[in-house]
Amino acid sequence: MGRNLKPRHKASRRFGENVADTLKMPSRNYPAGIHGPKKAFSKPSEYGRQLMEKQKAKVIYGLLEKQFRLTFDKAKKLEGDLGVNLLVLLESRLDNVVYRAGLAQTRRLARQLVNHAHFSIDGKNIDIPSYSVKSGQVVKLKPSKVGKGYWKNIQEKLNETEAAGWLAVDKKNMIITVNSLPGRDDLPKNIDTPLIVDFYSR
């Protein structure tokens, strides 16, 4: 299974915004690398802007190019706004749902928890991070994982997090109910999807 393991703090500097879930933005306002202080961020071409936006979305959700392109192609087959459909598909991935519910502090950790078969959906064990949850489904921490390892001292951290509005979370029993798929207002505002659509439409 392909994974994007590149350092996200470096990506945050490259894109000029926090794409690392929990890390603070670096204070240095010049490109990364040994020659960074001597360089300035140049104004990219239209193609460069499209490429950068696509790359940024990939980093945010931790996907490789093939995974991201497959998601885009799937979004094209759905009715409605292509950009909105793309973000809905990305947000409804199981690893992202675990992250949005506050059960993991980063998407990378959420992906690891899913890979290690910590969750079931409607009673069926699922260990595929890209699994698309549907409205009405229930994601539950497996009883065998309760009180062990990562979950042993998680309750205090859970009390400090707030779940996305389209999810209902029972923090005591580690149960996520998908009330609905995310609406337009629930989608991230820092991804310019028209640029991504233009990139793949060339």
Q: What is the rounded average pLDDT for all residues in the chain?
A: 87
Contacts with 98 (C-beta within 8 Å, 6 or more apart), sequence order = 104, 110, 113, 114, 119, 139, 176
Using only C-alpha atoms, the chain has a radius of gyration, in whole angstroms, of 18
Task: Catalogue the E-assigned strands of the chain.
Answer: 119-121, 124-125, 138-141, 167-170, 175-178
Q: Give me the CATH topology for the region 8-90.
A: Ribosomal Protein S4 Delta 41; Chain A, domain 1 (1.10.1050)
Contact 191, 57 (CB under 8 A): yes
CA pair distance 21, 121, nearest whole angstrom = 25
pLDDT in tens, 80-91: 999 999 999 999
* Cα 111 to Cα 106, 149, 177, distances in angstroms: 9, 16, 18
Contacts with 108 (C-beta within 8 Å, 6 or more apart), sequence order = 8, 21, 62
pLDDT in tens, 128-151: 999 999 999 999 999 999 988 899
Q: Which residue has the higher pLDDT, 18 or 195?
A: 195
Model pLDDT, residue 25: 54
Residue entry with tokens 């204070």: 27
Percent of the chain with pLDDT over 70: 79
Q: How confident is the model at residue 1 (pLDDT cuts 50, 70, 90)?
A: very low
Amino acid of residue 184: R
Domain 94-181 class?
A: alpha beta
In 3D space, the residue among 182, 185, 72, 99 whose CA is nearest the CA of residue 135 turns out to be 182
Residue ranges covered by each domain of the chain = 8-90, 94-181
- Judged against a pLDDT cut of 60, whether residue 15 lies above it is answered with no
